[in-house]
Chain A
């Protein structure tokens, strides 16, 4: 009986510690990020480290590279001036929202689709990219479209909404969720699944690096990517939106699109250009 009492004390104190840490981080994230960053002239962005073309840490020099990285740098400069610095913290689909909530990062620019479920937890900027979900298969695979995946195994990544989406189109598919895209791709190569699903731009990056694998079928969803911002950070959010539309209007956005997506087979970059008078879109 005495032992049980000790146990109860231990468990209660553990719960208390958890609740207290939760409270602590709440107050950190409720500070005004816009003013804080203005003083330090630094914005801390959560970015992907494993997504070629969008956000990738180059193993040779340890630098983050990709469309989202360049866009984040451009937005930071528009927000706080030429000498402002963008700091990058690598996140995964699974860790990005918790890291934002507890104040480790100011904003997420990491292939995150604007969804109603996520909007309950965090705020989004205006969309900065329009992706669509698709599938990646091995050359010669019998799978032609997402519906062919019924009764087959499909690989996704924990925390991305693509695993929930694919169930709508192929309800009988078995879904395996792996920790990140690198591992998901390796699992596909090992034959642990018949296809890999996520947004077409991410898959395009994989197809570029891995001959023998290709994007299959049309995108079956629209995935508007948004910059994730903590709830209540209205100053910061409107500053980001303002900077984003400036970047789109002065042509920087389209330059970045052409830089990163200009030469990707199977991906028509002209569809994602914005506010560009020269292409009449």
Chain B
């Protein structure tokens, strides 16, 4: 196994790098997009609420692979050429943002309605009250489920392998098919994923203890 690791070190590391980059990008953007749609789902305006609902329900209920394939194969035909890595990361962002929106919305709803009313009573606008009063409290509630979403996101990034996104799983497939050492290759790939996901789990637990 050591030999397999050292002789394919460059491939593993570049795969690890692309997986990490894709995860970080998708994590950042899905958090922003997800929070935006979470707020859309609770605004007083009914039209905006419907938009938020449609987005969440559509993308939460389509398999990630389908979304990614759509961006990899369909968008280049009619709109703009995007490569596998970008298509995968966009798919990952959209898919995860739908789940994050649901999580954050639950957090917002769990903040006592009186907080919002009191903030509005102080003369704050809806958005100010959201930004300074409700969201900070909401995020505290949703840290554990958000941690789950982040870990899922990293694991789901293996979808890049199906669109030639050069990620860890893609390299793993290539190495396994060249060396025929399937078992050890996928064990190594699994350990590389653990290197990313375990620190996230631990950090989230730490954050939870600190803020709770």
Contacts and interface: CB of A to CB of B under 8 A. Distances in A.
B162 interface: yes
Contacts of A164: 178
Contacts of B73: 186-187, 189-190, 192
A118 B173 CA distance: 16
Contact of A97 (B77, B163, B180): B180
Contacts of A93: 177
B66 interface: no
Interface in B79-138: 81, 83-84
B180 A121 contact: yes
Interface residues of A, number: 26
Contacts of A192: 72-73, 76, 83-84, 164
A18 B182 CA distance: 11
Contacts of A118: 180
Contact of B164 (A15, A94, A97, A177): A177
Consensus secondary structure, chain B interface: helix
B170 interface: yes
B142 interface: no
Contacts of B177: 93-94, 97, 158-159
A179 B74 CA distance: 18
Interface in A153-189: 155, 158-159, 164, 176-179, 183, 186-187, 189
A271 interface: no
Given A97-B180, A117-B178, A177 B170 contact: yes
B200 interface: no
B74 A190 contact: yes
A8 interface: no
Contacts of A186: 73
B171 to A, nearest CB: 10
Contacts of A155: 164
A179 B162 contact: yes
Contacts of A97: 177, 180, 182
B187 interface: yes
B187 A18 contact: yes
Nearest to A118: B180
Nearest to A97: B180
A191 B77 contact: yes
Contacts of A183: 162
A18 B187 CA distance: 9
B5 interface: no
A158 B179 CA distance: 12
Interface string A124-162: 000000000000000000000000000000010011000
A177 B173 contact: yes
Chain B contact residues (Cβ within 8 angstroms of A): what range? 20 to 34
A22 interface: yes
Interface string A102-128: 000000000000000110110000000
Contacts of B187: 15, 18
A158 to B, nearest CB: 5
A71 B182 CA distance: 29
Interface string B133-177: 000000000000000000000000000011110000010011011
A232 interface: no
A187 B180 CA distance: 26
A74 B77 CA distance: 43
B185 to A, nearest CB: 11
A178 B183 contact: no
Given A190-B76, A190-B77, A191-B77, A177 B174 contact: yes
B72 A190 contact: yes
14 contacts: A15-B187, A22-B183, A97-B182, A117-B180, A120-B180, A158-B173, A158-B177, A177-B173, A178-B162, A178-B163, A189-B73, A189-B77, A191-B81, A192-B84
Interface of B: 72-74, 76-77, 81, 83-84, 161-164, 170, 173-174, 176-178, 180, 182-183, 187
Given A98-B180, A155-B164, A177-B173, 14 more contacts: A94-B176, A94-B177, A97-B180, A117-B180, A120-B180, A158-B174, A164-B178, A177-B170, A177-B174, A189-B73, A190-B72, A191-B77, A192-B72, A192-B73
The 6 closest A-B pairs by CB, nearest first: A159-B177, A176-B164, A121-B180, A190-B76, A190-B73, A98-B182
Interface of A: 15, 18, 22, 93-94, 97-98, 117-118, 120-121, 155, 158-159, 164, 176-179, 183, 186-187, 189-192
